[in-house]
Structure formats: C-alpha cells, structure tokens
Amino acid sequence: MSKPDEIAKLLLRQHETAWRLAAYHLEGLSTDECLWRPGPKGLHVIFDDDGAWRGEWPEHEGYDLGPPSIAWLLWHMTYWWSMVVDHSFGDASLDRHRISCPPDAEAMAAELTSRHRDWVHRISDLDDRELLAPERTCWPFQDRPFADVVGWVNVELVKNAAEIGYARFMYAASPSD
C-alpha cells in the first residue's frame, strides 16, 4: 500500500469532513423518520418481496417532484456509491435495478459507514498519478481525472447529508399524528 500524495490527502480530508456531517445526521435516525413523507408527493422507496428498499426513479429532476423521503435519500446514497465503486474498481456491470437497501435505519447507517470505510481505504491506496489519470473514470463521467470522481463523491455526500438533516428538522417539527 502506497502512501497518499498531496491530492489524495486533500480529497481524503474533504471526504472526512463530508462524512462527519453525514454521520451526524445518521446518528439516532429512526426507521419512522426514514419512511415519513415530507410532502404530499416526492421520491420514496418501493419495498421488494424480501422487504428491501429500492428507490423510485425520477423521469426528471424538477422541483415539482416534491421533496424525497429520507429512505429515498439513503437509497440514493447507496446507489451512487455502489455505482462509482463498481465502475471505478470493479467490472462496471452494476446498474440501478440491482441496488437495494436494508429496510431499517440502523442497518442503513451501518451500510453507509461500511461504504465510507471501503471508499477511504480505496482512495488511500491511490497516488496522485493515479488520481490524475482517467483510467478509473467511468461513472458518472468519463475522460476526466479520477480526482474529479473523488471530488464528486465528496460533494454528493455533503449534498445528501444536508438533505437528510433538513428532512430530520422537518420531521421533528411536524405535527404528531
């Protein structure tokens, strides 16, 4: 295992900051919060026969979709993290139809924590030359330095963590049934 160079160190520091925000919002998250719908419409999860969550797939990304549920946000995090790892380090055979999540908040938090640790391990093994090369850049874009993908993961993680946090605030302030 090589030691990370300066670009890798910077990206890993950014990732650690993003992960701290995500971990903060995942701590104490309940399944009821996950399944709560913050609006009359919005992206949510569909339950498989085995009870796993699969995210609904939007036809567009317009505001008129409504706010997503936390369950959908967790599925979405699992989706993009699974895709980027499979397409960057695996055989690039994964697609959204094969991505599901455990059907409870505690298991989801554990799943995302595992993904975080795996990602940090993988990025820590890369040197700056590998991060500046496009060979691993297959999803969500191509023909760019792999550092762009790593930076995108950091941004996506912060975005989803902020959305989960906002939804938790809305849930906590919502009238009880």
pLDDT in tens, the chain (177 residues): 455 689 999 999 999 999 999 999 999 999 999 999 999 999 999 998 888 999 999 999 999 999 999 999 999 999 999 999 999 999 999 999 999 999 899 999 999 999 999 999 999 999 999 999 999 999 999 999 999 999 999 999 999 999 999 999 999 999 875
Contact status, residue 113 vs residue 23, Cβ threshold 8 Å: yes
* 106: CB partners within 8 A, 6+ apart: 31
Number of domains in the chain: 1
Query: In the numeric block, which tokens belong to residue 32?
Result: 């009821």
Residue 1 covered by a domain: no
User: Per the domain annotation, does 20 fall within a domain?
Assistant: yes
What's the confidence (pLDDT) of residue 71?
97
Whether residue 100 is contained in a domain is answered as: yes
For residues 56 and 43, is the Cβ–Cβ distance under 8 A?
A: yes
Calculate the dihedral angle through the C-alpha atoms of 40, 65, 67, 117, rounding to the nearest 10 degrees: 140
Which CATH number goes with the domain that contains 82? 1.20.120.450
**Measured distance CA(33)–CA(19) in Å, rounded:** 20
- What pLDDT sits at residue 2? 53
Distance (Å, rounded) from C-alpha 98 to C-alpha 135? 25
